[in-house]
């Protein structure tokens, strides 16, 4: 325990706790302990690059919006002169996720021009028809007496195909894409940048960036009604707004960010509802409740547990002075279980009046795909429940072990 210069006594926790089996199985018990220690904790000195964990709802919200806080960006890597030769770093660092002002606004504006609310609303019928197509296939499997892996047959292909439609990634390429996207995703996990993971991700990054560069060139030649064509045109018309590397890097991260997250929203959401038959029955009787169910799924078990930030100047967050240069682990999933903001936070309650979760982050990096993710969650789960009257878990799924992109690899179901 130390007295922070801002006057508050803050407790120290070890980040090693986040790597224990118990926490990987159930991080929420640990998050409850953190809340009992206040909104911010110090990390055991010298243990990692992080010096603080921020987990209280108000503190996380304040931090994400603070002008004194930034994301990790390419300036952090300037001391590694060859950083751009590592393809994964180059992809991440040329994207909006890992950019600060003024670069970040420039990229976000360019994507915002094309990734418009109207384009998302227009996707609604496509989401439903992709869902129905997948359910037809699942129904055929069920009729042949086989069980179904929900993740493989529905939770993955639904968002991957929706994103594919939106961006203009041909259907036959989407299965090829999945393991490569997983390879990139693994690096975002806490402690995930092992040498092996970096090597696998670098190979995947070369393949993926070459793939998108080729696709962008094709769309430049022959534009279609998709996001890649619109972005290429907008970027060419506004020369200098997006460099070729930035265009490709952002396509890669938007595609990745767009489907792995939603895959787990569907998987986590379904398993939670199957464990709560009364709540599921209420939903089946009235699908106008769907939006509040999806909001509660996002609060209760969001796939993106954390984000990372650095203080540019000394800044006070949650009554704690965070000195300039400090790295901070921002626990979004813990903030969503803060008892000070959500009474009885460990109860799944779709009727709670306050639904202002931090599932999609906040501030300048607020998720660009939130509306689409919500639509896919609502349409995807409703279509499934309408098609099958009885759904049960055929075998208990392996407990998710990641904190970033937390969800099931497989979820075997009996359906009828
Ligand atoms: C359940 C689904 C999703 C969840 C939980 C989620 C969560 C998040 C979070 C927490 C952030 C902020 C990260 C930070 O502040 O460091 C973010 C950013 C972002 N998300 Fe999502 N997301 C989801 C779906 C999507 C979809 C469907 C798309 C695109 C089609 C998308 C595109 C993006 C982009 C482009 C950003 C970066 C914005 C920026 O850096 O300015 N996301 N997302």
> Digits of tens for pLDDT over the chain (416 positions)?
666 776 678 899 999 999 998 999 999 999 999 999 999 999 999 888 899 999 999 999 999 999 999 998 877 765 566 666 677 888 888 999 999 999 999 999 988 888 888 888 899 999 999 999 999 999 999 999 999 999 999 999 999 999 998 988 888 888 888 888 888 888 888 888 888 888 898 899 889 999 999 999 999 999 998 999 998 888 888 776 788 889 999 998 888 888 889 999 999 999 999 999 999 999 999 999 999 999 999 999 999 999 999 999 999 999 999 999 999 999 999 999 999 999 999 999 999 998 899 999 999 999 999 999 999 999 999 999 999 999 999 999 998 888 999 999 999 999 98
Q: Report how far ligand 1's centroid is from the alpha carbon of 257 (Å).
A: 6
3 state SS of 38: coil
User: What local confidence, expressed as pLDDT, does residue 80 receive?
Assistant: 60
Q: Report how far ligand 1's centroid is from the alpha carbon of 404 (Å).
A: 12
Which domains can be identified in the chain, with CATH numbers?
Answer: 2-415 (1.10.630.10)
102 upstream amide cis, omega within 30 of 0: yes
For residue 361, which atom of ligand 1 is closest to its CA?
Answer: 10
Tell me which of 257, 373, 375 to substitute to probe ligand 1's pocket, judged by most ligand atoms within 8 Å of the beta carbon: 257
User: What local confidence, expressed as pLDDT, does residue 173 receive?
Assistant: 87
User: What local confidence, expressed as pLDDT, does residue 174 receive?
Assistant: 83
CB atoms within 10 A of CB 392: 10
Pocket of ligand 1 (CB under 6 A): 96-97, 108, 163, 254, 257-258, 261-262, 265, 302-304, 307, 332, 359-361, 365, 367-369, 372-373
User: What local confidence, expressed as pLDDT, does residue 296 receive?
Assistant: 97
Q: Report how far ligand 1's centroid is from the alpha carbon of 11 (Å).
A: 31
Name which residue sits closest to atom 32 of ligand 1, judged by CA.
369
Give exposure, 152-184, as e/b (b: 16+ Cβ within 10 Å): ebbbbbbbbbbbbbbbbbeeeebeebbebbbbb
For residue 71, which atom of ligand 1 is closest to its CA?
Answer: 16
3 state SS of 361: coil
Contacts of 137 (CB under 8 A, 6+ apart): 153
Q: Report how far ligand 1's centroid is from the alpha carbon of 3 (Å).
A: 36
Residues 292-334: tens digit of each pLDDT: 999 999 999 999 999 999 999 999 999 999 999 999 999 999 9
Tell which residue, 221, 250, 225, has the closest CA to residue 236: 221
Distance, in Å, from the CA atom of 196 to the CA atom of 173, rounded to the nearest integer, reads 25
């Amino acid at each position: 325990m130390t007295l922070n210069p801002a006057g508050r006594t803050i407790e120290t926790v070890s980040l090693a706790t986040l790597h224990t089996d118990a926490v990987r199985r159930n991080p929420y018990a640990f998050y409850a302990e953190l809340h009992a220690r206040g909104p911010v904790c110090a990390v055991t000195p010298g243990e990692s690059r992080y010096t603080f964990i921020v987990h209280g709802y108000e503190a996380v919200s304040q931090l994400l919006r603070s002008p004194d806080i930034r994301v990790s960006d390419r300036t952090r890597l300037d001391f590694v002169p060859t950083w751009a030769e590592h393809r994964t770093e180059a992809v991440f660092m040329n994207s909006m996720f890992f950019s600060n002002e003024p670069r970040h606004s420039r990229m976000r504006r360019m994507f915002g021009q094309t990734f418009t609310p109207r384009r998302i609303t227009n996707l609604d019928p496509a989401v439903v028809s992709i869902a129905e197509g997948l359910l037809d296939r699942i129904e055929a499997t069920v009729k042949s007496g086989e069980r179904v892996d929900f993740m493989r047959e529905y939770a993955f292909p639904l968002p991957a195909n929706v994103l594919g439609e939106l961006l203009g990634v041909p259907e036959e390429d989407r299965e090829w894409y999945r393991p490569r996207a997983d390879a990139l995703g693994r690096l975002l996990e806490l402690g995930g940048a092992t040498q092996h993971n970096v090597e696998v991700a670098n190979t995947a990054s070369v393949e993926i960036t070459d793939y998108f560069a080729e696709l962008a060139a094709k769309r430049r030649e022959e534009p279609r009604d998709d996001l890649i064509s619109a972005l290429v045109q907008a970027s060419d018309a506004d020369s200098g707004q997006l460099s070729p590397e930035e265009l490709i890097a952002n396509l890669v991260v938007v595609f990745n960010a767009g489907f792995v997250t939603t895959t787990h929203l569907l998987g986590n959401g379904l398993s939670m509802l199957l464990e709560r038959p009364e709540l599921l029955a209420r939903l089946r009787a009235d699908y106008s409740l769907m939006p509040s169910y999806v909001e509660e799924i996002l609060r209760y078990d969001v796939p993106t547990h954390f984000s990372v930030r650095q203080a540019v100047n000394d800044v006070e967050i949650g009554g704690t002075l965070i000195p300039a240069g400090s790295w901070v682990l921002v626990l979004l999933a813990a903030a969503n279980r803060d008892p000070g903001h959500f009474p009885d936070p460990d109860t799944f309650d779709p009727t709670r009046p306050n639904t202002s979760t931090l599932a999609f982050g906040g501030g300048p990096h607020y998720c660009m795909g939130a509306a689409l993710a919500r639509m896919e969650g609502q349409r995807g789960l409703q279509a499934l429940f309408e098609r099958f009257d009885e759904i049960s878990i055929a075998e208990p799924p392996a407990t998710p072990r990641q904190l970033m992109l937390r969800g099931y690899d497989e979820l075997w179901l009996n359906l009828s």
